[in-house]
Amino acid sequence: QVQLVESGGGLVQPGGSLRLSCAASGNIFMINRMAWYRRAPGKEREWVTGITTGGPTTYVESVRGRFTLSRDNTKNTVYLQMDSLKPEDTAVYYCYADLTTTRATLPSGYWGQGTQVTVSS
């Protein structure tokens, strides 16, 4: 069993900051990639940022320069520091991990339950 547990969402005023966390636990052999997606009210789910093991961190244009993704490999955890938040950042944020559970298995994708971020005055 693999679980992704997100935390850190909430209500913040425009211009404020929040830090989301996503911890992966369970039967994990290797994590290939972790990412954050979001779904705003009435919109499709959108990729926000991702980090591939041994590769670069990438961001959607709308958050570049405001959001920072970091990863603690010892804890199988990623952090999303969100600064200069705007009302259009309001969404449910979902953590995603592409990982293998044993040396012999193919990678599979796992999702967290989501955490609400609301940016409003």
**Band of the pLDDT at 93, cuts 50, 70, 90?**
very high
Across 92-119, average pLDDT: 95
pLDDT of residue 53: 86
Each residue's pLDDT tens digit, 5-64:
999 999 999 999 999 999 999 999 999 999 999 999 999 999 999 999 888 999 999 999
Buried b / exposed e along 50-60 (16+ C-beta atoms within 10 A) = bbeeeeeeebe
Helix, strand, coil shares, percent, the chain, to 5: 0, 60, 40
Q: Hey, which bits of 28-112 come out as E strands? A: 30-39, 45-52, 57-59, 67-72, 77-82, 91-100, 108-111
The CA distance from 102 to 18, in Å, is 34
- Write the pLDDT tens digit of every residue in 61-92: 999 999 999 999 899 999 999 999 999 999 99
Q: Which two tokens stand for residue 55?
A: 């590769």
